[in-house]
Chain A
Amino acid sequence: MQDFLQFTLTGITIGSIYAIVALGFVTIYSVTKVINLAQGEFVMLGGLTMFSLVSVGVPYWLSFIATILFVTFIGWLMEFLLIRRAKGADAISLIILTIGTSIFIRGISSMVWGKDQHTVAPFMDNTPVTIGGASITPQSIWVVLIMLLVVGLMYMFIDKTMLGKAFQASSVNPMAARLMGISPKRMSSFSFVLSASLGAIAGLAIAPIIFPAYDMGAMLGIKGFSAAILGGLGSAPGAVIGGLLIGLFESMGAGYVSSGMKDIITFSIFLLILIIRPNGILGEKTIGKGGL
């Protein structure tokens, strides 16, 4: 029972990160129909930029904000320089484009930060607290809180602001949205900006726990993508549920079986769920050829 509680807490922590990454996928996908496999690199950039800024002596909270701004700028740049230019490309080519971008960013990062793992200080004093026999670090609590905050803010933004409405409109019916004077270019650009900043926040939150390195983005990207698919591509609540589930499968698999088996177990359960619900747990609104 004590083990179970411990694995659940670990699962929710890592699941929260997957949830934020999955929200990034959903944000870009719903507006541009692009699967951005470079999403994990935003998280990596978030963690490593924070490391560099702190180690050159920038105050902690200032570097926090500077990191978010920097990664957001990279996201904007990616849309402006690459995605916008590839007009004639079909969905598969666009995936290759984002993979190319992710290999490129990873290569640059390994030149800048080297191949080592780096340490980033936690937000606050990080003495573990014990809850019902399971211990949890304050940073893990922060991760979960940040996920909840992000979900709350996203909900407020999408549902309550004019920009959010425009965003929703261009996802539901791009043609009609265009006729109403919403610029698809601006929305596409904005979706990358938003999703890059989500990635940066995830990177900042997780950095003190997992010691960021240049190659951490690939697996985070894959897990985030599976979370988005599991929840139903295009559905924001689905992304959060998918992320938490993937995190839980993983920590249960690692805890009860072995850490080498955790990915096998996670993806086997993932496939089983897909067999039962081919459009994800919450289902996709726009069912065509599975988004293609």
Chain B
Amino acid sequence: MKLQGVQQTKWWGVVVFIAAILIFPLVVTQSFFITQATFAGIYAIIAIGLGLLMGYAGQISLGQAAFYGVGAYTTSILTATWGWSPWLSLPIALLVPALLAFFMGYTMSRLSGYYLAMATLALGIIVHGLLVEGKGITMGASGFYGIPQLSLFGMTINQGVPYYFLVWFFVLIVLILSLNIVHSRVGRALRSIHDSEIASSSMGVNTGRYKMQVFILSAAFAGLAGWLFAHMSYSISPSAFTFDASILFLAMVVLGGSGSVWGALIGALLIRMIGITVHTLGEQFSFITSDSEHVIYGLILILVVIFMPKGLFPTVIDWFKNTSIKRVEKKSSVPVTPIERSVSE
């Protein structure tokens, strides 16, 4: 039975997604692109979490890199300094950022909107500062090195195709989890909070609790990404977890389209592709320097917001739907009323 207005997870999208993951390393074999695709996967995990927070709970986080960094450093310290197995440190690397988010959400529960955004920004700066200054534990600005590689059933998961599959396996889990959350009772509650917090709370939705849960979930996702990032590279440094990184994650969600799990995923891929394209162009043409990479990057952000304010993914989907509706109208010669149109969306 399909209830009207209740969206269900469209599994064909997931199938296409799995097929794309499997085919990509067969088509593209250069190790540079495999590494970039692995990074894109790590960013996608953070972007999906942030997308849930922004698009569904209507909160901005300008400090998502803090949770990412805390996850990465937690596992680095546990495995390299204390000699834990990386698999054992995985739940801790998820738990510590989640606890930080819980603490943050608990103390900041009275904040909203730009005040909350600025509070998360402050958290990001504090965490980055502590990573640089806590030299005894984090080895400071020069970076933490000696992080062990992952191994599964006695085989080391090397950087390259094996790690690519590991990362995208986790992306798949995060994606399915998020799609299910979005299309569940919780997801509908969250969307109602995004549209009108007052209306939803008067309908009996405990808005504060839901917002807190999404915030914690997004932090745990960022922690997972941090865990993957740390074990991919031998060393990590605080420079990967700055305000600029938080902005990058924010840009991924906005570019892809907040309010859609797929949008966040596509946004992450898109930002990575823009980066690679501009970089490759820079190698081809000498007049494109690293400075102009920034100029082009800024320009793309500007153009996307101006021409596709809802983000890329929803814009494209709308366009598809509109053209298919027009086709139906032509065939049946009965115009689709605006109400039906809005229901079918």
Q: Does B150 contact A (CB under 8 A)?
A: no
How many Å from the CB of B260 to the closest CB on chain A?
14
A270 located at the interface, meaning its Cβ lies under 8 Å from any Cβ of chain B in the complex = yes
Q: Give the segment of B37-45, B220-228, B303-311 that binds chain A.
A: B303-311
A85 to B305, CA, bound (A): 9
Q: Determine the distance from Cα of A94 to Cα of B60 in the docked complex, in whole angstroms.
A: 12
Residues on A with beta carbons closer than 8 Å to the beta carbon of B292: 107, 111
Contacts of A278 in B (CB 8 A): 110-112, 115
In the complex the two chains form, what is the Cα distance from A289 to B207 in whole Å? 13
**Looking at the complex, which of A97-105, A122-130, A133-141 is the stretch in contact with chain B?**
A97-105
Number of B interface residues, CB 8 Å? 49
B126 contacts A268, C-beta separation under 8 Å: yes
Chain A residues 88-112 with CB under 8 Å of chain B are 88-90, 92-97, 99-108, 110-111
Docked complex Cα distance between A88 and B113 (Å): 19
Which residues in window 130-180 of B have CB below 8 A to A? 130, 132-133
A278 to B298, CA, bound (A): 33
CB pair B309–A290 under 8 Å, yes or no, is: no
The one of B58, B243, B298, B306 in contact with A85, judged by C-beta atoms closer than 8 angstroms, is B306
Interface size on A, residues (CB 8 A): 51
B295 close to A108 (CB less than 8 A): yes
In the complex the two chains form, is B58's CB within 8 Å of A107's CB? no
B14 on the A face (CB < 8 A): no
A275 interface residue (CB < 8 Å to B) = yes
Is A229's CB within 8 Å of the partner chain B?
Answer: yes
Asked if B113 contacts A222 (CB within 8 A), the reply is no
The answer to whether A93 and B254 have CB atoms under 8 Å apart is: yes
Q: Mark A228-262, 1 if CB is under 8 A from B, else 0.
A: 01000100000000000000000000000010110
User: Looking at the complex, which one of A110, A226, A264, A274 makes contact with B130 (CB distance below 8 Å)?
Assistant: A264
Nearest-CB distance from A214 to chain B (Å)?
9
A290 and B110 alpha carbons, distance in the complex (Å):
10
Q: Is residue B212 contacting chain A, with contact meaning CB distance below 8 A?
A: no
**A-B pairs with beta carbons under 8 Å apart, 5 shown:** A92-B258, A96-B251, A97-B306, A274-B118, A292-B112
New A-B pairs, 17, CB < 8 Å, besides A95-B60, A99-B251: A85-B306, A89-B305, A90-B309, A92-B54, A107-B295, A110-B291, A111-B289, A111-B292, A222-B243, A226-B122, A264-B126, A264-B130, A267-B126, A268-B122, A270-B122, A271-B108, A279-B115
Chain B residues within CB distance 8 Å of chain A: 54, 58, 60, 107-108, 110-116, 118-119, 121-123, 125-126, 129-130, 132-133, 197, 243, 247, 250-251, 254-255, 258, 289, 291-302, 305-306, 309-311
Query: Which 9 pairs of residues, A with B, have the shortest CB-CB distance?
Result: A290-B113, A100-B301, A104-B298, A107-B294, A103-B298, A107-B295, A290-B112, A89-B309, A292-B113
